Amino acid sequence: MENEREGGEQQEIAVEKAQQDLERKARDLVRLALFHEQRRTPLKRDEISKKVLGSSSRSFNVVFAAANAILQKTFGMELVELHSTTADKEISEKDAEMLKTAGVKKKATSTGTKNYILRSQLDPAIIEKALSPDAEIRELEQSEHPDANEEFAEDDNPIGTRSTGSIFAWHNADQLPSVGILYVILALILVEGRVINDNDLRNILKRLQLPPNGPVPLSSKSSTQSLTIDAYLSQLTRQGYLEKHRVGNTRAGGTKRGRPSQHANAANDDGTLAAYEWHWGPRAMAEVGERAVAEFVAEFMAVRLGEEGVDEDAVGAPDDEGTRKRVQGIFKGIERAASGAPLADVR
């Protein structure tokens, strides 16, 4: 009897220890993920195994699930695996149509990259609301910190100081302008048929006052001193938002929509410059997805600038029927422009 009881107790203790061990590992993974997200570098599975799991590498799934539970409950975030982009592209237009009509779901091929990032787990409706301007909140902010601007009074860099009173104070946390630039680039790639020629992109960026050696607007609080557009593009590539391919590389390079200014100089032995083209990277697919970017563009295009009653700081489109119809029309236009597979949602 004695032995049985002892055995039972020992079992309980063992279970409790295992539970505590799991909780500790889950917390470690949460910390590791948060830390990596600061630099926007994906967290590799190898690193997770080494730093969190240690010897019990087979417990990845359990620890991963437990970590996600903490992330969701505490931060409203989730840790997700990035998927490689090649799988999406390989579906030709015809196949896409066929799959749609046949009602077949795209096979979940092994597209996992064993790289993980954090993203928000909140409902998109909440996110949009939390980004919307609010005059009341802005007044409160200003009354609480009347000297907020004095801190940087000597430096007349306004970036990162203006608030619209939105619930998510992005102007404090992250680099709003550089994010704006990134998403416009993603939009351009999408509407040019999911790929844009390097020359074409640079020409458009120039029109937008962003020449290759020009500065990316940063706030005074930024840890980076200065950043050129070129350097920024490289950074975005490293972080997985964009991919840069040489023309003539994988499949038939070149854009799907002809642009008059396009030069498709192939890579060469005779010394001429090779051309590059830009695609979305896996991180963009996970963080925002094609549908959301199309919505962003469509709602933006539907804005009637200079019209009375239009809130300058609004982040969406006004919700009247006329606008909604316009937005839908533009959205369809983007779908056609993207050509190929239907617009992908976040994955």
Residues 177-196 that bind other proteins (CB under 8 A): 177-184, 187-188, 191-192
Number of residues that bind other proteins (CB under 8 A): 78
- Contact positions with other proteins (CB under 8 A) in 151-170: 159, 162, 164, 166, 168, 170
- Could you tell me the smallest distance in angstroms from the CB atom of residue 294 to other proteins? 9
Contact in structure between 132 and 169 (CB atoms under 8 Å): no
Residue whose token pair is 């570098």: 41
Least distance (Å) between residue 308 CB and other proteins: 8
- Location of structure tokens 């939105």: 166
Decide: is 316 part of the binding site for other proteins (CB under 8 A): yes
Minimum CB distance to other proteins, residue 270 (Å)? 32
Residue 122, sorted as left (phi over 0), alpha (psi -120 to 50) or beta, turns out to be beta
Judged by CB under 8 A, the residue of 334, 341, 343, 344 near other proteins is: 334
From the CB of 183, what's the least distance to other proteins, in Å? 3
Site for other proteins in 24-53 (CB under 8 A): 27-28, 31-32, 34-35, 37-40, 51-52
Q: What are phi and psi of 277, to 5 degrees?
A: -135, 155
Using CB under 8 A as the binding rule, the residues of this chain from 212 to 271 that contact other proteins are: 217
338 burial (CB, 10 Å; 0-12 / 13-18 / 19+) is buried
Minimum distance of other proteins from residue 13's CB (angstroms): 26
Residue 112 sits at φ, ψ, to 5 deg, of: -65, 140
Q: Which of 233, 275, 292, 344 binds other proteins (CB under 8 A)?
A: 292
Give the C-alpha distances (Å, rounded to integers) separating 298 from 39, 61, 324, 329, 345.
Answer: 30, 39, 10, 8, 16
| Residue 63 within binding range of other proteins, rule CB under 8 A | no
Which residues inside 102-161 make contact with other proteins, applying CB under 8 A?
Answer: 118-122, 124, 127-128, 131-132, 159
Tokens of 46: 């190898």
For other proteins, which is the closer residue by CB, 170 or 276? Answer: 170
Distance between CA atoms of 180 and 57, rounded to whole angstroms?
40
Please identify, among the stretches 6-14, 60-68, 145-153, 305-313, the one whose residues bind other proteins according to the rule CB under 8 A. Answer: 305-313
Q: Alpha-carbon Rg of the chain, whole angstroms?
A: 24
